Amino acid sequence: DTAVSQTPKYLVTQMGNDKSIKCEQNLGHDTMYWYKQDSKKFLKIMFSYNNKELIINETVPNRFSPKSPDKAHLNLHINSLELGDSAVYFCASGLTSGANVLTFGAGSRLTVL
């Protein structure tokens, strides 16, 4: 069973469209994250939710809206997509009471044309 699963794995869309990426974890973790990996492979945190509460929002444009319906799910919705949004988006989960070890999903590659 996949511990952190993301869908879709690949997403190709036009500028101006709205798209969503879904993430689910079955590890019983209490915190979930979205990271963005750019074309130079640099990883930067975007959001973090702890038990459905937003705890990190790293100056991400408000076109990006995370939603956590429960602590096992964290979705990412992106409005009015721009060319610069092309990247690989990684979902991760962890236990804040633990040693900050994160388990990552396989990534969702978003290409905006």
Partner 1 sequence: AQSVTQLGSHVSVSEGALVLLRCNYSSSVPPYLFWYVQYPNQGLQLLLKYTSAATLVKGINGFEAEFKKSETSFHLTKPSAHMSDAAEYFCAVSETPGNTGKLIFGQGTTLQVKP
**Span near partner 1 by CB under 8 A; candidates 16-24, 64-72, 73-81, 100-108:** 100-108
53 binds partner 1 (CB under 8 A): no
Q: Tell me which amino acid residue 10 is.
A: Y
CB of 88 to partner 1, least distance (A): 9
Binding test (CB under 8 A) with partner 1, winner from 12, 15, 27, 55:
55
Secondary structure of residue 84 in the 3-state scheme:
helix
What does the DSSP assignment read for 4-67? EEEE-SEEEE-TT--EEEEEEE-S--SEEEEEEE-TT--EEEEEEEETTEEEEE-S--TTEEEE
Binding residues for partner 1, per CB under 8 A?
A: 4, 31, 33, 40-45, 48, 50, 55-56, 90, 92, 94-107
